[in-house]
Amino acid sequence: MSQPNLTPVRVILASQSPRRRELLAQIGITHEVRPADIDETVWPGEAPVPHSERLARDKAHTLALLHPEAVVIGSDTIVVIDGAILGKPASRDDAIAMLERLSGREHTVYTSVAVAHEGRTLSGVEAVQVQFRTLTRAQIAAYVDTGEPMDKAGAYGIQGYGATLVERISGDYFAVMGLPLGRLVGLIRELGYVYEFGPVRAN
């Protein structure tokens, strides 16, 4: 039985992350990239999970106000250990310090995703446990010198050289990459749109 000919919907990704672009392309969602310019400062007393979800929602909402006809996707990823948020490293020394803290230990990656359209914003958070191998200072320095850690939360990327730092994960691998695809598709459907292994379409 043939699928109904539904109209494709304009989708905007409110992020400049190449990993998120690749993941959307991987599941066939045609999209435009328009990074959202928001303040990502942690509010006083704000816990890690609410912080991440707020940023994802703010990114999606900000672009949805400018492009009300589009379905806008916002996402935010943080690395948390000992209750502290590890953001993107500010320097080589900062990256080394983060990786030394993660070495041989388990931490949590929280990735929030939000979908906004016509005044509605739906969101959710994926939590993934990541266990690091025990690393020597020389290994950490060599990894940092690849340049890969400098634009990534927690100073590592699981989809690149950083894959060799990880002993195991428990949870959604794609959330660690930066976009929980299963949760995203669920939010798109909850918003009233159709995703059937291709572009997002109007119902």
> In terms of Cα–Cα distance, which of 153, 129, 151, 149 is closest to 139?
149
* b/e code 87-107 from CB counts within 10 Å (16+ = b): bbbeeeebbbebbebbbeeeb
Q: What distance lies between CA 190 and its chain's CA centroid?
A: 20
Using the structure block, give the residue that is written with the tokens 């979908």: 115
- Please tell me the distance from the alpha carbon of residue 190 to that of residue 6, in angstroms, as a whole number: 17
Q: Does 76 participate in catalysis according to the annotation?
A: yes
Find the catalytic residue in 76, 82, 151, 172: 76
> In terms of Cα–Cα distance, which of 41, 36, 32 is closest to 12?
32
Q: Which residues belong to the active site?
A: 76
